[in-house]
């Protein structure tokens, strides 16, 4: 890992800390389970960044890191559902929990083939939720245009995740070679965190 990568990961950590403080304060002002989901997601993002700085990119192949990292999109997606579609929070949260458990079982159980099915399915569900909800809300004019930065963040991390998944499978997605993916991963994480921060902080009317 290069010095510049560490700088971007530290900046990502600072954004995560800011968002943790933001949602802690928001939860005091307005009790909502959505804030707890968001806090969990940014807390995991902070921890993941620290682990990457300590152990390097090799940590991405660790089963524990791979499973826990799933909490970031799963938590953000469930938080968005809890905030804007409260009636669907229960079943959606259970769905994400099942996904996390199945990912853990396939990872630690060595079920490689099943893992290749489970992992993309549940990550796609969470990713599409993060992508489309801000767009739907903006079209209904329930939020301002800044809320679309959440969609941007979801798109950025989705591209990185897909590229990593292809590399793990021994294939290459377009020009996303291993060296290229590792070169852009740290700034991509920072831009993702920054996009989420702009969307959540400035996006609500």
Closest CA to 166 of 131, 133, 204, 119: 119
pLDDT in tens, 135-191: 999 999 899 999 999 999 988 887 766 666 655 655 555 555 667 777 788 898 999
Q: Give CA separation, 143 vs 57, 126, 168, 190, in Å.
A: 37, 20, 38, 24
Write out pLDDT tens, residues 65-115.
778 888 999 999 999 999 999 999 999 999 999 999 998 898 888 777 777
What residues does each domain of the chain span? 3-202
Question: Of 101, 107, 1, whose CA–CA distance to 55 is shortest?
Answer: 1
Confidence label for 60 from pLDDT (cuts 50, 70 and 90): confident
Secondary structure tally for the chain: helices H, strands E: 8, 0
């Amino acid at each position: 890992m290069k010095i510049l990568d560490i700088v971007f990961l530290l900046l990502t950590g600072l954004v995560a800390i800011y968002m943790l403080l933001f949602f802690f304060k928001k939860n005091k002002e307005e009790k909502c389970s959505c804030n707890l989901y968001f806090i969990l997601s940014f807390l995991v993002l902070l921890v993941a960044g620290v682990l990457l700085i300590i152990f390097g990119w090799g940590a991405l192949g660790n089963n524990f890191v791979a499973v826990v990292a799933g909490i970031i999109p799963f938590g953000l997606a469930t938080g968005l559902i809890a905030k804007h579609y409260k009636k669907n929070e229960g079943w959606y949260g259970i769905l994400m929990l099942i996904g996390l458990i199945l990912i853990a079982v396939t990872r630690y159980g060595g079920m490689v083939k099943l893992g290749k099915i489970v992992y993309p399915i549940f990550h796609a569900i969470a990713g599409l939720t993060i992508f489309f909800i801000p767009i739907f809300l903006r079209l209904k004019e329930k939020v301002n245009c800044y809320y679309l930065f959440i969609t941007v963040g979801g798109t950025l991390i989705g591209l990185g995740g897909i590229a990593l998944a292809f590399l793990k499978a021994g294939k290459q997605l377009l020009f996303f070679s291993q060296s290229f993916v590792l070169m852009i991963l740290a700034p991509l994480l920072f831009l993702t965190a920054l996009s989420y921060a702009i969307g959540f902080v400035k996006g609500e009317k």
